[in-house]
C-alpha cells in the first residue's frame, strides 16, 4: 500500500493489462469483462493496519480498487492475503517469523488449492 492505494508502478502495470478487445469489450449493452473463470490471489502489504475492524480501515482504498478493476475485466474470484502492520515488525515490536508464519500458511493453502 502506498498513500492508501496501490503504488504508481503497479497502477501503470494494471493500465497495460486493462485493454479493450483483450481483457474487456464494449458493445451496445456496455462494458463486458473477458477474463471469466479466472482466479486471482493478491498479496498486499502495508506499514499500518488497514483491515476491517481497525481504526484506519476506511483509508484502505487498495483492496476495493483491486477488486473493482479485476471485476471490470471479468475476474471475480479474488482472494486477498493481507500483510499489514509491518511497521511493528520493522520497529522490533513483533517477531518477524512469528508475524510471517500465518501469512505463509495462508499463501501455501491457496497455492495447494490452485494446484
Structural domain boundaries enclosing 97: 8-114
**pLDDT score at 70:** 98
**pLDDT score at 52:** 86
Q: 72 pLDDT band (50/70/90 cuts)?
A: very high
User: 83 in a domain, yes or no?
Assistant: yes
CATH label of the domain that carries residue 91: 3.40.50.360
How does pLDDT run across 42-56, given as a tens digit for each residue? 999 999 999 888 999
User: 3 in a domain, yes or no?
Assistant: no
d(C-alpha 45, C-alpha 6), whole Å: 10
Neighbours of 106 (CB within 10 A): 16
User: 24 in a domain, yes or no?
Assistant: yes
User: 2 in a domain, yes or no?
Assistant: no
Mean pLDDT of 33-42: 95
How does pLDDT run across 88-111, given as a tens digit for each residue? 989 999 999 999 999 999 999 999
Contact (Cβ atoms closer than 8 angstroms) between residue 77 and residue 38:
yes
Amino acid at each position: 500500500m502506498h498513500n492508501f492505494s496501490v503504488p504508481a508502478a503497479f497502477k501503470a502495470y494494471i493500465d497495460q493489462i486493462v485493454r479493450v478487445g483483450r481483457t474487456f469489450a464494449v458493445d451496445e449493452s456496455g462494458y463486458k469483462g473477458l477474463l471469466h473463470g479466472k482466479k486471482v490471489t493478491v498479496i498486499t502489504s502495508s506499514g499500518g493496519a488497514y483491515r476491517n475492524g481497525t481504526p484506519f480501515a476506511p483509508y484502505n482504498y487498495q483492496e476495493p480498487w483491486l477488486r473493482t478493476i479485476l471485476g471490470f475485466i471479468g475476474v471475480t474470484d479474488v482472494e486477498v492475503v493481507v500483510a499489514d502492520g509491518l511497521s511493528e515488525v520493522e520497529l522490533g515490536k513483533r517477531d518477524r517469523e512469528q508475524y510471517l508464519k500465518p501469512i505463509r500458511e495462508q499463501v501455501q493453502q491457496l497455492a495447494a488449492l490452485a494446484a
